Amino acid sequence: MINTIQKRSLILAHNTYAKAKTVTANGCEVVYLKENLNLPKFVTLNKCKEVPIGFISVEELGFEMISNTTDDLAFKDSRNVFIIQYDDSFTVIFGKKTITDIKSVTELQNSYFSLTGKELNLKD
């Protein structure tokens, strides 16, 4: 189960990748990334799971790769937010603030919002 879901967060709903369309206290209405699935459009919060690292590229979230080493990848966006991607986690840096050990795309979206006050969404 996910602690915090924001509108447009990428989640696993019924073991299928989806974006949260609307969020209520009881759950969220979702849009599945694959079309024509015969799955419920409303998912209770206890049925939502975080999306693991590696499902999407950081570029799909609006970041540009600025460094590629054997140990990590570094990305930057238009707000000068930096993401360092390791094999199993992310680190986000914004100004003098840093959040480390981020284990999922959903956590990454929440951390970004915490640091910048802006949502981190998939590019349409």
Q: What is the mean pLDDT of each run of 10 residues along the chain (124 residues)?
A: 71 86 87 85 86 80 90 92 90 94 88 90 73
| 32: phi then psi, degrees, rounded to nearest 5 | -75, 145
Please count the other Cβ atoms lying within 10 Å of the Cβ belonging to residue 120: 26
Check residue 11 and give its pLDDT: 86
Phi, psi of 113 (to 5 degrees): -65, -40
Amino acid at 35: E
- CB atoms under 10 Å from CB of 72, counted, come to 15
What is the per-residue pLDDT for 36? 77
- How many Å apart are CA 95 and CA 11, to the nearest integer? 28
Q: What is the pLDDT of residue 52?
A: 80
Beta bridge partners of 23: 28
- The CA-atom distances, in angstroms, between 103 and each of 29, 47, 87 are 24, 19, 10
User: Could you give the CA distance from residue 106 to residue 44 in angstroms, rounded to a whole number?
Assistant: 16
CA dist 95 and 108 (Å) reads 17
pLDDT of residue 3: 61
pTM for the predicted model, two decimal places = 0.75
Q: What is the pLDDT of residue 117?
A: 92
pLDDT of residue 1: 53
pLDDT at 45: 83
